[in-house]
Structure 1
């Protein structure tokens, strides 16, 4: 119990630090943009086929559940309900962006997702039994990025695609299987997002909001007292990212021609 408490506190602390970093980055962008307003930054950035970068973000995640048909039988007359609260987590990842044309890109962004997923089992006598876990997922979202026409140093975009995720399983997860909710090691979600590319003198900075809709039932085939009242369990999350992408050479085409001479 003491170890779980320490991990819980560390998790909350990291989330607060990440939020503070995001706020500082937003403030830095506002000041930097005010100084270079009217200047076209990275004019040939989007002409490069491949872009690379990284991203950090925070998210809220929760389970969406369906009760098993047996839930309404006398076997569960003392269990009032199962409630999935939202919990905060954070993500870090890399970006590989392939340029198809001026309006469309394909993006692969391997991501480490640190979650807190919880179910509260509420009983008719007022007792609440809590199942709180902090799984780490390795996500490999493959997304299509549809971009608007660039207006000076801003460009809106929309994202959509599939996001397969693999749970990192520790030795502790393999023990005491009867004392916690068991979930599968693989998940698949539909990701939809919106963001804005903000072109800086040396890089591209993009705030992004993304929703992940779980498509697979993550309940493990091995049943115990935690999973017995449930028939279907999916994971849903809402994420806010800050992304940074490096671009091609900042030399203009004209400058390149002069160098060749």
Structure 2
């Protein structure tokens, strides 16, 4: 049975918090833009060779499961199905953006991602057992950012790239290995996304959505009762981000106005 803790409670509500934050930031950005309509903010910001920022996000994640041949053997005839469940988590990270040419950037974004991943084991007698894991991954997305032509203080962009990840919590096998679903330490995903750059006076604010397709099987090679009948598990997630990017030149230009 899973024990209650503060982190689980935060996971349950974080998607609501992040969604409210995104909506609020969008309203602030829209109001700010309306007040200074006609003014071009940070006119040469995207031409900087390097600039920095940070991001926060809320994500919905789930396993994608593939059954093994063992699932249809008499040894598992009491198991009706094993079903992944949608769970919520959050991410926080930094951005290092490299300008390549007019419409293309390369973005590296070291990120800590807090997951909850669940499987429902359904039995023929009607019982359901939920196995919940809450690993934390350090992720290093390397993304190509293709930008549209800037229209006043707005521009749309597309993202695509890969995200290697290593698990930084939940690695210690301090419990009997037969009592938990075991997840591998490493992961790799293919990421695609779209966002909107909104240029403010001192920084660039960008709401963004991104989908991650897990490429590696994260099921641990050590077998137990929970992995019986499962050939592979991949992690797929949908994330809403808000990013803030700035640079020293932005603040120097603002300071010269006074």
**Secondary structure in structure 2 of the residue aligned to 1:151:** coil
In 2 relative to 1, CA 80–205 (structure 1 residues): closer, same or farther, beyond 3 Å? same
Aligned to 1:166: 166
Aligned residue runs from structure 1 range 130-169, under 5 A: 130-169=130-169
Q: What pairs up with 1:1-261 in 2 under 5 angstroms? A: 3-170=3-170, 173-247=173-247, 249-250=249-250
**Count of residue pairs the alignment pairs up:** 253
- The two structures, once aligned, show a CA RMSD in angstroms of 1.8
Unpaired runs of 5+ residues, structure 1, are 256-261
Quick one: distance in 2 between partners of 1:171 and 1:232? Answer: 19
- Partners of 1:14 and 1:60 in 2: how far apart? 10
Q: Contact conserved, 2:134 with 2:170, CA < 8 A, in 1? A: no
Counterparts of 1:212 and 1:231 in 2: how far apart (Å)? 21
The whole-number CA distance in structure 2 between the counterparts of 1:174 and 1:148 is: 50
Structure 1 residue ranges, 4+ long, deviating more than 4 angstroms after superposition? 170-173
Give the 3-state SS of the residue equivalent to 2:85 in structure 1. Answer: coil
Give, in angstroms, the shift of residue 14 of structure 1. 4.2
* In structure 2, C-alpha distance between the alignment counterparts of 1:89 and 1:14, rounded to whole Å: 7
SS of equivalent residue, structure 1 residue 84: strand
Label 1:2 to 1:67 Cα distance change in 2 as closer, same or farther (>3 A).
closer
Contact 1:207 / 1:243 at 8 angstroms: preserved in 2? yes
Q: Kindly provide the CA deviation profile for residues 188-239 of structure 1, in whole angstroms up to 9, marking residues without a partner as x.
A: 0000111111111111011111000000001101000000110011000011
The answer to whether the 8 A contact 1:70-1:229 is kept is yes
Residue 57 of structure 1: how far off its partner (Å): 0.7
Given the two structures, how large is their TM-score scaled by the length of structure 1? Answer: 0.91
Q: Is the 8 A contact 1:48 1:248 kept in 2?
A: no
- The answer as to whether partners of 2:57 and 2:241 remain within 8 angstroms in 1 is yes
Counterparts of 1:2 and 1:61, CA distance in 2: 19
Question: What secondary structure is seen at the aligned counterpart in 1 of 2:34?
Answer: helix
**Cα drift, residue 42 of structure 1:** 0.6
Displacement of 1:62: 0.2
State the shift of 1:46 in Å.
1.3
* Cα distance in 1 for residues equivalent to 2:157 and 2:192: 11
- Tell me which residue corresponds to 1:258: none
> Any conservation in 2 of the 1:53–1:95 contact (CA below 8 Å)?
yes
Aligned-partner Cα distance in 1 for 2:125–2:214: 33
2: distance between equivalents of 1:117 and 1:22? 24
